[in-house]
A and B are shown apart, each in its own frame.
Chain A
Amino acid sequence: MSILVFIEITEGTIKKSSLEAISYGAQLGDVTAIAFGEISVEELAKAGLSGASKVLHVSDEKYHLGNVQAYSSAISEAMESIGADTLVLSKSSLGDPISARVAIKQGASLASNVIELPDTSDGFTVKTSIYTGKAFAITKLTEDKKVISIKKNAIGIKEDGNAATVESFTPSSTDTDFKAKITSQNKTTGEILLPEADLVVSGGRGLKGPENWGMIEELATTLGAATGCSKPVSDMDWRPHHEHVGQTGIKVAPSLYIAVGISGAIQHLAGVNSSKYIVVVNKDPEAPFFKAADYGIVGDAFEVIPKLTEAIKAIS
């Protein structure tokens, strides 16, 4: 198979989730990656470590902000120009619309939320996460062309390849591609992105107010974790919406999810059930979250969390 992998850039480096997509693609065939925006050639060449032989870089300034239609047209054009039959990308707020548009442009079968390598014993069959992590679907992709959108933190990253060659790529854009105008962008910088974090510390209403988030942040910083929250917390504006973990918020799949003062409503659990390990700290021994946890502590978060932070500092 000839594969194009769309890679996303964050603060001048390739996103971890995009390295997962390259690693996935490299196990299926020859991988060319495509990247947009501000990033150095040296950083792009690192795509090779995960298995890309070549990286196409679209550096034109008008592609810097992540315009979905323009990216989709450019990616489809790149697939034609290298003769790729498959697009692989990581499922994200940018990956979702791009996967859909490219699938239509290419007449491709699309699979979203793929969690493991395909079964190719009879055609091309993939396993996807459905019902917000509560089940899986096994689906055969029937077209010759395919678009595969993989779930974050589901695929291990390969790091044993050689540096990739980097070529610049100039798509033939049209005005239609830029009909939707991004007028401003407001992103936190220097923080670990919640959707792709390997460790997450989340706080709930049990923390009583936004002024008490210091200890959550300190624990997260000590661990190198991202911070999250429950829906009521984001609804009350204690924390921004992009930290809301749950059924109608961000779905996370970290190695470790630490929930502090969150009771564990089923809608919250839907956002965390792909975590490998869950720790629950709650003063209510009847909190339903304990049933979904691997480790639990019944206790006052205001006492337990600072002690936990100290204990982690002591071993690191």
Chain B
Amino acid sequence: MKILVCITHVPDTTSRIAFTEDDTQFDKTGVQFIIGPYDDYALARAVELKEQLGGTITALNVGEAETEPTIRKALAIGADDAIRVNAIPTDSFFVANEIATIAKEGQYDLILMGRESIDFNSGVVHSMVGEILGIPSISPVMTLDIEDATAKMTREIEGGKESIQAELPLVLGCQEPIAEWKIPNMRGIMTARTKPLEVKEPSANTTKTEFKNYELPPEKGAVKMIDADNVSELVDLLKNEAKVI
């Protein structure tokens, strides 16, 4: 089985979010970049499926050279090789188009990624890829099992979940508890250095949006503390000050 795992290179979830250049650039000062947490689940499940069924895992990232340490981490966790499409991931359509191009060339059985990136949170790239390729896309996937060429999945829906069955090839957006995150071991880290990482130029230059600038939300005011023996004061504040109950 050939698995393509698409990873994002995103600020660690504890990062302070700030902007520079008149709020047009993300401020990378002191920020640690990681594999997107949802993508990390996708990668972990891919490694388990490979152990179970055999095959290969290719990690894919659309990004500039700065993302290579993140891609190497995916190789350390268990991807066999990697592709970097050398471009700034400008919008969802641009990224989906590049992923679809790579997917067509490589004839993958399974294209996995996170349910959404934790920077732009759109949660649409997997389904765009599915539509471009004319195959089903399912997200957010909580469990995934493969038997012959059939995938059985659980998808989270509002207030519950559903079971879905589909033939490969498929594009899936993953989330917990599909697998436990894997921490690369020393052998993985050593072999990752020499695993192939191919750099490709983007196949097209198509975007459908034009980014203008970032904004930050207003600062939160100070917390008002209420005595534990006086909960009626809280009720009064919620009713008459916040007007939410």
Question: Are A and B physically bound partners?
Answer: yes
Residues of A within 8 A of B (CB): 10, 65-66, 68-69, 72, 91-94, 96-101, 103-105, 107-113, 125, 127-143, 149, 176, 179-188, 191, 193-196, 199, 223, 235, 241-242, 247-248, 255-256, 266-267, 270, 273, 276-277, 279-280, 290-300, 303-304, 307-308, 311-312, 314-315
A277→B244 contact, CB < 8 A: yes
Given known A97-B137, A187-B159, A308-B234, contact A180–B226 (CB-CB < 8 A): no
For B132, the chain A residues whose CB sits under 8 A away are 104
A179→B166 contact, CB < 8 A: yes
For A292, the chain B residues whose CB sits under 8 A away are 220
Q: Which of B47-55, B66-74, B206-214 contacts A (4 or more CB under 8 A)?
A: B206-214
For B244, the chain A residues whose CB sits under 8 A away are 199, 255-256, 276-277
Nearest residue (CB) in A for B210 is: A140
List 8 additional contacts besides A109-B209, A142-B207, A256-B245; criterion CB under 8 Å: A109-B208, A135-B17, A138-B215, A181-B165, A185-B157, A294-B242, A295-B242, A296-B225
30 contacts between A and B (CB under 8 A): A66-B157, A92-B158, A93-B157, A94-B157, A96-B124, A100-B96, A101-B131, A103-B124, A103-B128, A104-B132, A110-B208, A112-B122, A130-B119, A132-B121, A135-B17, A137-B214, A142-B209, A143-B208, A187-B157, A199-B244, A247-B37, A248-B38, A270-B13, A279-B234, A290-B223, A291-B223, A294-B220, A295-B225, A295-B242, A315-B239
Q: Which of B1-9, B79-87, B138-146 contacts A (4 or more CB under 8 A)?
A: B138-146
Given known A100-B128, A135-B215, A256-B242, contact A304–B228 (CB-CB < 8 A): yes
For A72, the chain B residues whose CB sits under 8 A away are 131
For B177, the chain A residues whose CB sits under 8 A away are 235, 241
Nearest residue (CB) in B for A91 is: B123
Tell yes or no: B224 within 8 A of A by CB: yes
For A185, the chain B residues whose CB sits under 8 A away are 157, 160-163
Given known A294-B242, A295-B226, contact A242–B161 (CB-CB < 8 A): yes
A128 to B177, CA, bound (A): 28
Nearest residue (CB) in B for A176 is: B134
Cβ-closest 4 pairs across A and B = A299-B228, A100-B127, A187-B160, A100-B124
In the assembled complex, the CB of A71 is this many whole angstroms from the nearest CB of chain B, namely 11
A194 to B159, CA, bound (A): 7
**Residues from 164 to 178 in B contacting A, C-beta threshold 8 Å:** 164-167, 170, 175-177
Tell yes or no: B93 within 8 A of A by CB: yes
Partner of B128, one of A104, A129, A312: A104
In the assembled complex, the CB of A217 is this many whole angstroms from the nearest CB of chain B, namely 15
**Main SS class of interface, B:** mixed
For B204, the chain A residues whose CB sits under 8 A away are none
B215→A242 contact, CB < 8 A: no
Given known A132-B118, A191-B159, A255-B244, contact A308–B127 (CB-CB < 8 A): no
Nearest residue (CB) in A for B136 is: A180
B234→A131 contact, CB < 8 A: no
A276 to B241, CA, bound (A): 12
Chain B positions 1 through 44: 1 when the CB is less than 8 Å from some CB of chain A, otherwise 0: 00000000001011001010000000000000000011000000
A281 to B128, CA, bound (A): 42
Tell yes or no: B125 within 8 A of A by CB: yes
Given known A136-B215, A140-B212, contact A248–B37 (CB-CB < 8 A): yes
Tell yes or no: B191 within 8 A of A by CB: no
A262 to B179, CA, bound (A): 25
A1 to B209, CA, bound (A): 19
Partner of B209, one of A91, A104, A139, A279: A139
For B232, the chain A residues whose CB sits under 8 A away are 311, 314
For A186, the chain B residues whose CB sits under 8 A away are 160-162
Partner of B122, one of A113, A293, A303: A113
For A242, the chain B residues whose CB sits under 8 A away are 156, 158-161
For B13, the chain A residues whose CB sits under 8 A away are 247, 266-267, 270
In the assembled complex, the CB of A7 is this many whole angstroms from the nearest CB of chain B, namely 14
For A111, the chain B residues whose CB sits under 8 A away are 209
A180→B156 contact, CB < 8 A: no
Tell yes or no: B155 within 8 A of A by CB: yes
Given known A97-B137, A188-B160, A296-B224, contact A136–B130 (CB-CB < 8 A): no
A138→B134 contact, CB < 8 A: no
In the assembled complex, the CB of A186 is this many whole angstroms from the nearest CB of chain B, namely 5
Given known A136-B214, A248-B175, contact A195–B158 (CB-CB < 8 A): yes
Partner of A131, one of B119, B131, B223: B119
Partner of A277, one of B92, B93, B121, B238: B238
A223→B119 contact, CB < 8 A: no
**Residues from 90 to 108 in B contacting A, C-beta threshold 8 Å:** 91-93, 96
A141→B209 contact, CB < 8 A: yes
A146 to B208, CA, bound (A): 10
A108→B14 contact, CB < 8 A: no
In the assembled complex, the CB of A229 is this many whole angstroms from the nearest CB of chain B, namely 14
Given known A138-B215, A294-B221, contact A97–B124 (CB-CB < 8 A): yes
